[in-house]
């Protein structure tokens, strides 16, 4: 039975989160009973607090209804402070929220996958973890529901290609232990496309957020192709 148990302590937390990510972590990681997260400091810098405030505002109001005044009020700071740190306003703040969110997500994936005993286990854990992160991201869920027009431009074919390319670069280290660099990138992109299709599917039979269903899906539709990749990596090495 594959679980996503992660224990992060001072000794085991190898990834080095930058200051924004350290405090922002408590809003993005899964704090379910199976996970224990220690050593995460409360936000200290004004920049940290602004990012947390923006995340909370997005979670409550969505993108279009979140204003600089809302972020300032939530963060208990002035508009002047916001514009001093983020001269380009709300879009710059949200872009930084997305950047930190992405960094934390992939650092968490690395922590989850690093104890995998096999490529199959690494694939299952990475998909399971990624789906969990997306499902529990309150800001993302609110924006998708109330501001789909903000998301749609990124779903155009040319934009999606850029997104999947970036995901391939960030996700490839998850599988480098078993595959060549190029095949690791292919696998990361492949899994990202599966996850994207899953969230866009209306089928009630596809339940990849359930471990057993995910394992069956990976064994039937993913592992055969991965075996070819693994063989190719062995030949090239």
What is the average pLDDT across 44-71?
A: 91
Q: Rounded distance, CA 140 to CA 99, Å?
A: 13
With bands split at pLDDT 50, 70 and 90, how would you rate the model's confidence at 156? low
Q: Looking at residue 174, what DSSP letter applies?
A: G
Give me the mean pLDDT over the 161-185 stretch.
92
- Of 174, 144, 173, 185, give the one whose Cα is nearest residue 62: 144
Distance from chain centroid for Cα 177: 21
The predicted model gives 151-177 an average pLDDT of: 85
Q: Which domains does the chain have, with CATH numbers?
A: 6-236 (1.10.357.10)
157 or 190: which leads in pLDDT: 190
* Paired residues of 37 in beta bridges: 8
Query: In DSSP terms, which residues pair with 35 in a beta bridge?
Result: 6
User: What is residue 149's predicted lDDT score, i.e. its pLDDT?
Assistant: 84
Give the pLDDT confidence of 72-92 residue by residue, as tens digits. Answer: 999 999 999 999 999 999 999
The percent of residues above 90 in pLDDT, for the chain, comes to: 51
Per-residue pLDDT tens over the stretch 6-25: 333 233 333 333 333 444 44
Torsion of CA 136, 28, 139, 34, to 10 degrees: 20
């Amino acid at each position: 039975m594959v679980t996503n148990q992660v224990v992060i302590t001072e000794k085991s937390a190898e990834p080095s989160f930058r200051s924004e990510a350290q405090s922002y972590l408590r809003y993005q990681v899964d704090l379910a009973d199976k996970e224990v997260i220690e050593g995460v400091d409360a936000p200290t810098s004004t920049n940290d607090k602004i990012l947390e405030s923006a995340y909370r505002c997005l979670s409550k109001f969505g993108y279009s209804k979140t204003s600089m005044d809302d972020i300032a009020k939530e963060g208990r700071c002035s508009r002047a402070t916001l514009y001093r740190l983020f001269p380009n306003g709300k879009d710059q703040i949200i872009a930084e929220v997305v950047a930190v969110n992405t960094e934390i997500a992939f650092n968490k994936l690395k922590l989850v996958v690093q104890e995998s005993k096999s490529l199959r286990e690494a694939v299952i854990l990475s998909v399971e973890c990624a789906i969990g992160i997306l499902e529990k991201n309150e800001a993302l869920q609110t924006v998708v529901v109330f501001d789909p027009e903000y998301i749609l431009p990124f779903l155009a074919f040319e934009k999606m290609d850029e997104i999947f390319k970036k995901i391939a670069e960030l996700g490839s280290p998850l599988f480098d232990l078993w595959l060549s660099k190029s095949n690791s990138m292919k696998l990361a992109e492949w899994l990202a496309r599966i996850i994207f299709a899953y969230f866009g599917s209306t089928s009630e039979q596809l339940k990849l957020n359930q471990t057993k269903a995910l394992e069956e899906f990976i064994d039937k539709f993913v592992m055969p192709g991965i075996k070819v990749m693994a063989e190719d990596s062995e030949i090239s090495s």
